[in-house]
Amino acid sequence: MTIQSQIRCIYNCVRPILPTRIVSCLSRELSTNSYINLMCKQRHYREALDTFNFHPKNSSIQLESSTYGNLILACTSIRSLKYGKKIHDHILKSNCQPDLVLQNHILNMYGKCGSLKDARKAFDTMQLRNVVSWTIMISGYSQNGQENDAIIMYIQMLQSGYFPDPLTFGSIIKACCIAGDIDLGRQLHGHVIKSGYDHHLIAQNALISMYTRFGQIVHASDVFTMISTKDLISWASMITGFTQLGYEIEALYLFRDMFRQGFYQPNEFIFGSVFSACRSLLEPEFGRQIHGMCAKFGLGRNVFAGCSLCDMYAKFGFLPSAIRAFYQIESPDLVSWNAIIAAFSDSGDVNEAIYFFCQMMHTGLMPDGITFLSLLCACGSPVTINQGTQIHSYIIKIGLDKEAAVCNSLLTMYTKCSNLHDAFNVFKDVSENANLVSWNAILSACLQHKQAGEVFRLFKLMLFSENKPDNITITTILGTCAELASLEVGNQVHCFSVKSGLVVDVSVSNRLIDMYAKCGSLKHARDVFGSTQNPDIVSWSSLIVGYAQFGLGHEALNLFRMMKNLGVQPNEVTYLGVLSACSHIGLVEEGWHFYNTMEIELGIPPTREHVSCMVDLLARAGCLYEAENFIKKMGFNPDITMWKTLLASCKTHGNVDIAERAAENILKLDPSNSAALVLLSNIHASVGNWKEVARLRNLMKQMGVQKVPGQSWIAVKDQIHVFFSEDNSHQQRGDIYTMLEDLWLQMLDDGYDPCQSEEKSVSMC
């Protein structure tokens, strides 16, 4: 053993216990080059760089090219751009003539440290380059989000006469994926084949990743099949691709084949993808078995696999198992905490979700937008509004209240909690940075709360913003037009959807059909239906319901038969239209037939809406006792709509006995319901039972029941005007009542005999 080797051995033994000053002195006794190289070899990169830093500029000891190479590699390993620039500058000022290997190391260091400007400057000064030089630059651009520059560099490489190798293809294909250019990807695949690297593993794995990224699962599978010796990346890329693209069963089969072919080295990413596949397929048994395999390979404590496992059990509803999977993770990161918080949020357990949120805060991790998306999702009911407002306060405290995704969740939460005021305040705070989701959320909130004027006002503001309406926006606006039966505005929105190209979206077409039908313009509804390229069940149902609502029962039933002849299966909404059609034209037997076959033949269980339609069908036909018995014998508790339907028909057929029982049931469900008492009073009045009329009116006064005023809307010059029955507060009430009196007189002159009941007379004003 040489003296120098003996010194190194002694130094390695005592170095950990020596002060830095002594270490520095001792290191000078060794050859500086040897010492730096030794430190780099042992991966003590900081000490190697410190040694370089203390190396005197005027020292007689010159650093060798290999030493510079190791120092550059050290900078690359610890991503130290500061030291990297310093060493590069030292090289340029020294007598060292860097060879091509050292120059490529410098390029790689700048690329890994994210300084592509310095990398390009060094690249341009190189007198000699090879394929490695070009590949490093392409890889650097690709890894730092400059995929277009990577593609340009690849083209320049080909123009310079250099031929890519498998590593080059791996880097440029990755850049192509990031750029989202499938056409370029296909060209690169052809270039790989032409270059003879179509059987090289690196290029093949890159192609699999590219095709799965672009959703081309067949091409990815073809490349995968061609690989003779598949490695971990090959299996992981293909299994992950199948899972992400919705081919969960294929992912599980491939996972099984991996073991059958003797590959027994799955990693955490493969297990994570397989857990996701089990979650999507709702296969708890498969999930448990694969969980056992994951534990056998010692990957249950891994963050990625453990997080996916936790998410899988949460999807199955096995929250205790999800908790155990979470606590097995060795060092849970923010993604892991978000997964367990989301698990309880999705199950509606806001208290447990907040508990884990507090636990996460105690670990020192700061929440991100995704954390709050889950928490706010759990607070979407009036019962949990207090927790929601507390979370909102904390969001403001940490400065996430301007983040669009968080604000959108706040909008949704307040909307579900029927708190439109706070929803508006949130939207005002984010209005400058509002995205399309924000606009759609506030428009939807206004529609749900019957604020039609606000919907139209906000839509106009949106048109002047940078956010252009999408199909969700248009369907919301059309929904408002349908609620108001505003045909004029609906026509304008229809024109806008045609000009913007959104009318081709089937959801927009369906909303147009629904809007025109509810506005009474069945011809336009039929025209839109006819122009829809591929009408779905919603298209058919909207048109059938539209015809039924306007009493065109035969036309509705003809549409239903036409739909069935074309092989389109009806759904529960379709049958609402069919039953309504039977009701309007008095087809009792046909209605019973459709009601019974709906569940027996198609497996569609009747809902409350279907029962209400049957009650209306029987009651309209005068079968009041049958309707009452049907309500009592159905499988669930009757709601107020069913009794109201029966009560209204009692007035038509003058049946006081059933009317009293129907009104009694309505008042049990809603003691303050004014309509039931008023209608019952009118029924007694129609048969001359004035004593009972007086008793009911006196009862209404004692109970403090007030009639909810009716409302009407009218659009004049793009402005919505709202009128309330018996409203004396309107600024133009004099003109309004004068016009009503004129219309009343004209109606009498034309020979109409309007209802003269007290209730109708009062409601005129």
Q: List all residues 6 or more positions away from 400 whose beta carbon is below 8 Å from its beta carbon.
A: 368, 369, 372, 406
Q: Which residues lie below 8 Å from residue 18, measured CB to CB, with a gap of 6+?
A: 26
- 701 lies in some domain: yes
Question: Going by DSSP bridges, is the β-strand pair 711-716/719-724 parallel, antiparallel, or unpaired?
Answer: antiparallel
pLDDT of residue 620 exceeding 90, the answer is: no
17 vs 346, more confident: 346
* pLDDT beyond 90 at 556: yes
What is the arithmetic mean of pLDDT over 749-759?
Answer: 58
Q: What pLDDT was estimated at residue 217?
A: 93
> Amino acid identity of 348?
G
Reported as a single tens digit per residue, the pLDDT across 237-295 is 999 999 999 999 999 999 999 988 887 788 889 999 999 999 988 888 899 999 998 98
Given a cut of 60, whether residue 17 has pLDDT beyond it is no
Confirm if 575 and 598 have CB atoms less than 8 A apart: yes
Supply 70's token pair: 């190791």
> Which residues in 740-749 are b (16+ Cβ under 10 Å) and which e?
eeeeeeeeee
Q: Within its chain, how far is the Cα of 115 from the centroid?
A: 35
Q: DSSP secondary-structure letter at 465? A: S
Which CATH number characterizes residue 648's domain?
1.25.40
Contact 517, 542 (CB under 8 A): yes
Q: Say if residue 13's pLDDT is above 70.
A: no
Helix (H, G, I), strand (E, B) or coil at 712: strand
Please tell me the distance from the alpha carbon of residue 203 to that of residue 182, in angstroms, as a whole number: 16
Interatomic CA distance for residues 426 and 401, integer angstroms: 8
Tell whether the model's pLDDT for residue 3 goes beyond 50. no
* Total-model pTM: 0.64
Q: How far apart are CA 326 and CA 356, in angstroms?
A: 11
Q: Based on the fold, state whether residues 611 and 701 are members of the same structural domain.
A: yes
Contact, 713 vs 720, CB < 8 A? yes
507 pLDDT band, cuts 50/70/90, is: very high
Distance CA 725, CA 743 (A): 16
Whether residue 689 sits in one domain with residue 633: yes
- For residue 635, being part of any structural domain is answered with yes
Q: Are residues 677 and 731 in the same domain?
A: no
3-class DSSP assignment, residue 716: strand
For residues 705 and 754, state if they share a domain: no
Q: Using an 8 Å Cβ cutoff, are 503 and 532 in contact?
A: no
Extract the tokens encoding 23: 């270490």
Rounded to whole angstroms, how far apart are CA atoms 275 and 313? 9
The predicted pLDDT at position 765 comes to 32
pLDDT band at 136 (very low <50, low <70, confident <90, very high): very high
User: Domain for residue 621, yes or no?
Assistant: yes
What angle in degrees, to the nearest 10, is found between the helix axes of 81-93 and 100-112?
Answer: 150
> What CA–CA distance (Å, rounded) separates 574 from 537?
8
Radius of gyration of the chain (CA): 37
Question: Token match 């025109």: residue?
Answer: 516
Of 548, 465, 484, 541, give the one whose Cα is nearest residue 509.
Answer: 541
Query: If we measure between CA atoms, which residue out of 552, 512, 546 comes closest to residue 529?
Result: 512
Question: What's the rounded mean pLDDT across residues 124-145?
Answer: 92
Helix (H, G, I), strand (E, B) or coil at 107: helix
**Of 521, 533, 442, the residue nearest 482 (C-alpha):** 521
Say whether both 617 and 706 belong to one domain: yes
The residues, any chain, with a CB within 8 Å of residue 446's CB and separated by 6 or more, are 420, 452, 454, 455, 458, 480
Q: What is the DSSP letter of 533?
A: S
Judgement on whether residues 690 and 745 belong to the same structural domain of the protein? no
User: Do 693 and 764 reside in the same domain of the chain?
Assistant: no
Reply yes or no on whether the pLDDT at 54 is more than 70: yes
Give the separation between CA 235 and CA 212, rounded to whole angstroms: 13
Cβ atoms of 441 and 471 closer than 8 Å? no
Does residue 283 belong to any structural domain of this protein? Answer: no
Q: What angle do CA 61, 65, 69 make, to 5 degrees?
A: 120
Mark whether 635 and 699 lie in a shared domain. yes
**Whether 736 and 653 share a structural domain:** no
DSSP β-bridge partners for residue 719: 716
Do 690 and 755 have their domain in common? Answer: no
Q: What pLDDT shows up at residue 18? A: 45
Higher pLDDT, 150 or 59: 150
Q: What does DSSP assign to residue 330?
A: S
pLDDT value, residue 725: 65
Residues in contact with 737: Cβ distance below 8 Å, sequence separation at least 6, in sequence order:
765
Confidence check: pLDDT of 2 > 90:
no
Does residue 496 lie within any of the structural domains?
Answer: no
The whole-angstrom separation of Cα 653 and Cα 659 is 10
Number of independent structural domains in the chain: 3
* Contact in structure between 532 and 539 (CB atoms under 8 Å): yes
HEC profile of 636-668: CCCCHHHHHHHHHHHHHHCCHHHHHHHHHHHHH
Tell me if 638 is assigned to some domain.
yes
Mean pLDDT of all residues in the chain? Answer: 84
Domain contains 120: no
CB atoms within 10 A of CB 92: 11
493 touches 502 (CB < 8 A): no
Element (H, E) at 722: strand 719-724
Name the strand (E) or helix (H) holding 433. Answer: none
Question: Does 639 lie in the same domain as 675?
Answer: yes
- On whether residue 385 sits in a domain, the answer given is no
Domain that holds residue 733: 726-765
Q: Which residues, including other chains, have CB under 8 Å from residue 603's CB and lie 6 or more apart?
A: none
Could you tell me if 690 and 732 lie in one domain? no
Between CA 417 and CA 384 the distance in angstroms is 8
